[in-house]
Copies of this chain bind each other. A is one copy, B any other.
Amino acid sequence: MRDNNEMPGHLARRFQQIAVAVFLAEVEEAGFDLTPVQYAALAAIKMNPGIDQVTLAGLIAYDRTTITGVVDRLVQKGLLVRHASPRDRRARELQITEAGKRTLRAITPAVEAAQHTMLRGLTEKEGAELMRLLRKAITAGNELSRAPLREARLG
A residues at B contact (CB < 8 Å) = 1-2, 4-23, 25, 36, 40, 43, 46-47, 60-61, 108, 112, 114-115, 117-122, 126-127, 129-131, 133-142, 144-147, 149
Each complex incorporates copies of this chain amounting to: 2
**Known interface pairs A8-B19, A19-B9, A121-B140; A115-B2 also in contact (CB < 8 Å):** yes
CB <8 Å contact, B17 and A134 = no
Among B8, B112, B117, contact of A127 (Cβ-Cβ < 8 Å): B8
Question: Which residues of B are found within 8 Å of A2, using beta-carbon distances?
Answer: 112, 115
CB-based closest 7 A-B pairs: A121-B140, A21-B145, A11-B134, A18-B141, A130-B133, A16-B16, A12-B16
State how many angstroms separate the Cβ of A105 from the closest Cβ of chain B: 10
CB <8 Å contact, B137 and A122 = yes
Question: Which residues of B are found within 8 Å of A142, using beta-carbon distances?
Answer: 18
State how many angstroms separate the Cβ of A11 from the closest Cβ of chain B: 4
Please report the C-alpha to C-alpha distance between residue A6 and residue B122 in the assembled complex, in whole angstroms.
16
**Known interface pairs A18-B145, A121-B141, A144-B21; A13-B1 also in contact (CB < 8 Å):** no
Question: Which residues of B are found within 8 Å of A60, using beta-carbon distances?
Answer: 4, 10
Question: Which residues of B are found within 8 Å of A61, using beta-carbon distances?
Answer: 14, 17
